[in-house]
Structure 1
Amino acid sequence: MIAAQRRNIIVETIERDGAVSITALSEKLDTSAVTIRRDLDQLAEEGRLIRTHGGAVLASSARESSYAEKLEQALAEKTAIARAAAARVRNGDVVALGPGTTTELLAKELTRFSGLRVVTNSLLVAEAMVSSPDNEVIVVGGMLRHSIRAFVGGGTVSQLLGLRADTVFLSGNGLAADFGLSTPAFPVADTDRAMATGAGRVIALVDHTKVGIRSSVLTVPTDEIDHLITDAKSDKAEVGALQKAGVDVEAV
């Protein structure tokens, strides 16, 4: 596992739990305590957490800065993925976009379309579509999850279960062939799963830092993902396993 992937998982864990220990992270990531200490020190220097004896705790600004950090990571690849995803949309389509940095970039690409009905639980996706009055945007409400700028919870799920979109675009925190698309948070997984239910097709938008990563909570199993758009840096063995499992893979 490369350092960027490992540190993403550390940040996701601390955002979820509020604190982490070196011992637990070493076991979870199957790496040495020395490596974990180095990762925590680097993340502390970036202001994403506060180091403590034996671990780290959530920095007061971590929830607000984490999204910006995620957007900067693999930005060129995410932008290319978003453009490829937009090529699979046609004027007049009903599309649903889950939360995430890549889906936000996709929303910006969709502003050049017309007659779309865009359903989302993401505030940032909705904001990106504000400048596109030729498209209808439906924002599904619920409980705001600040770290991803999106609504989640039972009310969100109930609304999404009535959705029948032509295409659902989902991101997530990891995609493994033997598991599927995943996230570290149950409320996020529930809303993404509800969005995918009944969709004409489910397209996963996953850059190379997340391919081969299994986060803690399953969102959409591999056999329910119709298409994956990733980048050319993704692990070839994992991409091959996804194709063998029946996922149509497009690498940009």
Structure 2
Amino acid sequence: MEIIQRQKYILEQLSKNQNIRISDISDQLHISRETIRKDIYTLDNQGLVHAIRGGATLPESISETRYGKRQHEEVDEKKAIAQSALGLIHDGDSIFIDYGTTAFQIAEALKHSNLRNLTITTTSSFVVSALQFNKDIQMVVLGGSMRTSEGSLSGPITLANIHNIYADIGFFGCGGISLQAGITNHYVEEVEVSKKMMTHCRTTVVLADSTKFKKNAMYKTASISNVDVLITDSNIDKKIANQFRTESTSVIISH
């Protein structure tokens, strides 16, 4: 097994279990403990794991917390981001809303807006629940396999359904963001859906509260140059915001 495959396996096991033992991974992959130990140290140096004696844990700084817990983190910032996002939407628009707690706040904001005649495509069951009874919104659900903890849809069915779906504007969350790594997220299947849907949106908007600029997740969704608009909150370091503007990305700071 090649090093990239081993490291991917290590990160997948950490994502499921929050911690791993070198001996267990060694037995599962039939690879020496010393090789697994070196892989963990490499990932630790990249900031993707926290190496401990006999194994590793996933640092809180990059670990994906449970959806319910994340709903209570940076709430004011996410609501401010959602209000800024509403300013980019017009009556009659077709909109894509990705999964994630910040994207969900856009759905919540739309419920109380005066926007009319919207068509919303989504991969989030939480977005569907928030908007399903709104008479001014037509819902399109992409379908696919659901990760119930996130209420997100992904997989081959989802990708196939995107083929003939386009949107005026798409809103995408992220697990981490940096100039070097770009837009990153935690689950490869969902990243593939976001990647494809980004190419089907006339305008691509990434939603990232200021804490996301300190993190990198495992899988790259897009380069910063592929993002039209980045919306963040007022806690963002102004120097960082200006660095992103030099990449020809419009940066909106919500207050």
> Normalised by the shorter chain, which TM-score bucket?
0.7 to 0.9
Could you tell me which residue of structure 1 aligns to residue 77 of structure 2? Answer: 77
Distance in 1 separating the partners of 2:197 and 2:19 = 31
Tell me how far apart the structure 1 counterparts of residues 247 and 239 of structure 2 sit (CA, whole Å).
12
Give the total of aligned pairs.
219
Deviation, structure 1 residue 158: 1.5
Aligned to 1:128: 130
Which residue matches 2:93? 93
Distance 1:249 1:27, change over 3 A: same
> Equivalent residue for 1:184?
186
CA RMSD of aligned residues (A): 2.7
TM-score w.r.t. length of structure 2: 0.77
Q: Does the C-alpha gap of structure 1 residues 241 and 161 become closer, same or farther in structure 2, counting only changes over 3 Å? A: farther
Amino acid at match of 1:241: Q
> Which residue among 47, 50, 53 is the counterpart of 1:29?
47
Counterpart residue identity of residue 144, structure 2 = G
Query: Partner letter of residue 164 of structure 1?
Result: Y
Match of 1:142 in 2: 144
> Distance between the aligned counterparts of 1:235 and 1:193, measured in 2?
27
Q: CA, structure 1 residues 115+13, in 2 after alignment: closer, same or farther (shift >3 Å)?
A: same
Q: Any stretches of 5+ residues in structure 1 without a counterpart? A: 1-11, 38-51
Measure, in 2, the Cα distance between the counterparts of 1:82 and 1:14: 33
Q: Alpha carbons of 1:74 and 1:224: their partners in 2 closer, same or farther (altered >3 Å)? A: same
SS in 2 for 1:204: strand
User: Retained in 1: the 8 A contact 2:70–2:101?
Assistant: yes
Give the C-alpha shift of residue 208 in structure 1.
Answer: 0.6
Shift of 1:14: 6.3
> Which of these two proteins has the greater Rg computed from alpha carbons?
2
Contact 1:99-1:121 within 8 A present in 2 as well: yes
Give CA-to-partner distance per residue, 1:177-206, whole Å, 9 cap, x none.
223211121101001111111311000110
Question: Does residue 168 of structure 1 match 2:170?
Answer: yes
Following superposition, the deviation at residue 55 of structure 1 comes to 4.6
Please give the per-residue CA displacement for 1:56-106, whole angstroms capped at 9, x wherever unaligned: 59xxxx99x710111111111001001110111111100000001011110
Q: Report the CA distance shift for 1:120/1:233 in structure 2 as closer, same or farther (over 3 A).
A: same
SS at match of 2:225: helix
Is the Cα–Cα contact under 8 Å of residues 145 and 154 in structure 2 kept in the other structure? yes
- The alpha-carbon deviation at position 172 of structure 1 amounts to 1.3
Equivalent pair of 1:16/1:185 in contact (CA under 8 Å): no
Q: Corresponding residue for 1:249?
A: 251
DSSP 3-state at the match of 1:91: coil
Q: Is it true that 1:20 corresponds to 2:19 in the alignment? A: yes
In 1, Cα distance between equivalents of 2:208 and 2:86: 14
Partner amino acid for 2:73? Answer: Q
- Could you report, residue by residue, the CA deviation over 1:141-181 in whole angstroms, capped at 9, with x for unpaired residues? 00111232111001101112322100000001011122321
TM-score relative to the length of structure 1:
0.78
**Residue 107 (structure 1) aligned with residue 107 (structure 2):** yes
How many angstroms apart in 1 are the aligned matches of 2:148 and 2:191? 15
Any idea what SS the aligned residue of 2:19 has? strand
Amino acid at match of 1:173: G
Q: 1:131 is matched by which residue type in structure 2?
A: F
What are structure 2's unaligned runs of at least 5 residues?
1-10, 22-36
Q: Distance in 2 between matches of 1:186 and 1:242?
A: 25
- Cα deviation for residue 54 of structure 1 reads 4.8
